[in-house]
């Protein structure tokens, strides 16, 4: 079964790109992704640019409108995700517990729909 590990954190903790704090957590994520790959469970993933670069398409009553920024403003932002292969939810949760984070935040673990069924 494939699972998405969806990362939510306060992006202000990272500062600007290429600062020491940013480079440190980036290195931690490279190591984490390397471990996932070494164990043969990594299927994909990506980090995301800051929320200031986001554009949201909102559909209401069949009409679309564009909005700068993320859909929901909150203390934590969607920062990136990993797609992993795990035999069950417990194994996926074990990987989520190891995921590096700069501060407080959360990792949503969600099964991916298998399009073959």
If phi > 0 it is left, if psi is from -120 to 50 it is alpha, else beta; for residue 4 that is beta
pLDDT tens per residue, range 67-90: 887 666 667 788 899 999 999 999
CATH number (domain holding residue 105): 3.30.70.1060
Residue pair 12/75 in contact (Cβ under 8 Å)? The answer is no
Q: What is the mean pLDDT of the chain?
A: 88
In a domain, 104, yes or no: yes
Q: Report if residue 116 sits inside a domain.
A: no
- The range of the structural domain enclosing residue 100 comes to 2-111
In a domain, 48, yes or no: yes
pTM of the model: 0.86
Q: Is residue 117 part of a domain?
A: no
Number of domains observed in the structure of the chain: 1
């Amino acid at each position: 079964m494939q699972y998405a590990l969806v990362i939510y954190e306060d992006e202000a903790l990272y500062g600007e790109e290429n600062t020491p704090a940013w480079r440190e957590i980036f290195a931690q994520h490279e190591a984490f992704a390397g471990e996932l790959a070494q164990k043969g469970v990594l299927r994909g993933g990506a980090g995301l640019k800051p929320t200031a670069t986001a554009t949201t398409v909102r559909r209401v009553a069949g009409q679309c409108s564009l909005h700068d920024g993320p859909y929901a403003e909150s203390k934590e932002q969607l920062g990136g995700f990993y797609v992993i292969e795990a035999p069950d939810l417990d194994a996926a949760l074990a990987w989520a517990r190891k995921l590096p984070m700069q501060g407080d935040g959360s990792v949503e673990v969600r099964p991916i729909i298998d399009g073959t069924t």
